[in-house]
């Protein structure tokens, strides 16, 4: 069975929610047929450190916009935005279903180099969504640098266990000056976890004059690049094939030989 994703690599209007939602709706309206539409990190504002001014509650305008768009086009819509909850701010990825229900993932690794940790609280659990038998591990930008957080759990000795997930998805505002790390780590995550990897990044300058080259990618479980686009806005649709994934895992069952581990953290 296949699952079809559409990647929207776009420039973003700095801290202008209305302009971004209008622009993104026009782009989504142009998509002919798909199942999952992926937007960049902080798609409504850009990577801003002003959540006190721009964060919304879960019943706010942007989440309701996602609900409306998802229902209208009968798609799953995902991307991250600033959310306020329980007196904290989160860089929260929303996984919006066409029936109006949703899941969410709070970014685990806040980017201290840009003082994200001074403005946002870290999440403490992963979200692995399921659709049509596919399992999708949802993560955000800087999480990419921490392989343990994304690692497939290997089966115990004698255990016949399926892989924990099939697709590893990252939404990002990853700057061009570190794009070599972005491309390398996306490929590494695909190879080491024997899964498809999708990385969706923005393009253009943000409000701090930091340039983003995009470099959105789709990579197969052997590390082969199925899609890559740099510097330009793009809307790209691809169907991932479950049969290909299973063939690779059955022929090269490397993930089953991985070291056993547990993440030891009082917050988890």
Is the pLDDT at 38 greater than 80? The verdict is yes
**71: domain CATH number?**
3.60.110.10
The range of the structural domain enclosing residue 189 comes to 2-257
107 carries an active-site annotation: yes
Question: What are the tens digits of pLDDT across the range 191-223?
Answer: 999 999 999 999 999 999 999 999 999 999 999
SS3 200: strand
The catalytically annotated residue of 17, 35, 41, 195 is 41
Model confidence band, residue 156 (pLDDT cutoffs 50, 70, 90): low
Question: What are the tens digits of pLDDT across the range 130-144?
Answer: 999 999 999 999 999
Query: Tokens 């504002």 map to which residue?
Result: 45
Q: Is residue 18 part of a domain?
A: yes
Q: Is residue 267 part of a domain?
A: no
Distance CA 178, CA 105 (A): 24
230-234's contacts with Cβ under 8 Å and 24+ in sequence apart are 230/179, 231/203, 232/9, 232/203, 233/9, 233/10, 233/11, 233/203, 234/7, 234/8, 234/9
Apex 40 CA angle, 35 and 41, nearest 5: 125
Apex 10 CA angle, 8 and 16, nearest 5: 120
Is the pLDDT at 157 greater than 60? The verdict is no
Q: Domain count of the chain? A: 1
Model confidence band, residue 260 (pLDDT cutoffs 50, 70, 90): confident
Higher pLDDT, 260 or 85: 85
Is the pLDDT at 265 greater than 80? The verdict is no
233 carries an active-site annotation: no
**CB–CB of 44/171 below 8 Å?**
no
Report, as an integer, the average pLDDT of 149-154: 88
110 carries an active-site annotation: no
Query: Tokens 């904290």 map to which residue?
Result: 88
Report, as an integer, the average pLDDT of 107-124: 97
The catalytically annotated residue of 141, 176, 195, 229 is 141
Q: Is residue 174 part of a domain?
A: yes
By DSSP bridging, strand 134-140 and strand 88-96 are unpaired
The catalytically annotated residue of 17, 107, 183, 229 is 107
pLDDT value for 202: 98
**CB–CB of 221/165 below 8 Å?**
no
Model confidence band, residue 39 (pLDDT cutoffs 50, 70, 90): very high
Q: Is residue 248 part of a domain?
A: yes
Q: Is residue 264 part of a domain?
A: no
By DSSP bridging, strand 211-219 and strand 225-230 are antiparallel
- The residues, ordered by sequence, that sit 6+ positions from 9 with a Cβ below 8 Å of its Cβ are 40, 200, 201, 202, 203, 214, 216, 229, 232, 233, 234, 235, 236
Is the pLDDT at 262 greater than 90? The verdict is no
Q: What is the dihedral of CA 41, 231, 187, 239, to 10 degrees?
A: 80
Query: Tokens 């971004």 map to which residue?
Result: 20
For residue 241, the number of C-alpha atoms closer than 13 Å in the C-beta half-sphere is: 5
Q: Is residue 156 part of a domain?
A: yes
> Taking the mean position of all CA atoms in its chain, how far away is CA 173?
11
Distance CA 74, CA 244 (A): 26
Model confidence band, residue 268 (pLDDT cutoffs 50, 70, 90): very low
Report, as an integer, the average pLDDT of 239-250: 96
């Amino acid at each position: 069975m296949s699952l079809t994703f559409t990647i929207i690599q776009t420039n973003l209007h700095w801290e202008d929610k209305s302009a971004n939602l209008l622009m993104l709706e026009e782009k989504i309206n142009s998509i002919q047929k798909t199942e999952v539409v992926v937007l960049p990190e902080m798609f409504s504002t850009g990577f801003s450190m002003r959540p006190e001014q721009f964060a919304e509650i879960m019943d706010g305008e942007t989440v309701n916009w996602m609900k409306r768009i998802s229902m209208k086009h009968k798609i799953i819509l995902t991307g991250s935005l600033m959310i306020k909850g329980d007196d904290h701010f989160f860089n929260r990825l929303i996984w919006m279903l066409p029936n109006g229900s949703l899941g969410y993932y709070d970014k685990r690794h806040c980017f201290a180099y840009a003082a994200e940790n001074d403005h946002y609280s870290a999440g403490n659990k992963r979200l692995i969504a399921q659709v049509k038998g596919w399992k999708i591990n949802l993560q955000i930008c800087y999480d990419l640098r921490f392989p343990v957080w994304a690692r497939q759990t290997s089966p115990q000795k004698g255990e016949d266990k399926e892989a924990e997930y099939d697709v590893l998805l990252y939404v990002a505002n990853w700057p061009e000056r570190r794009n070599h790390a972005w491309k390398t780590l996306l490929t590494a995550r695909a190879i080491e976890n024997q899964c498809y990897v999708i990385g969706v990044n923005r393009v253009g300058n943000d409000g701090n004059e930091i340039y983003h080259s995009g470099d959105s990618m789709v990579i197969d479980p052997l590390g082969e690049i199925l899609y890559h686009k740099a510097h330009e806005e793009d809307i790209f649709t691809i169907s991932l094939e479950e049969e290909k994934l299973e063939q690779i895992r059955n022929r090269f069952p490397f993930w089953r030989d991985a070291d056993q581990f547990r993440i030891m953290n009082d917050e988890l």
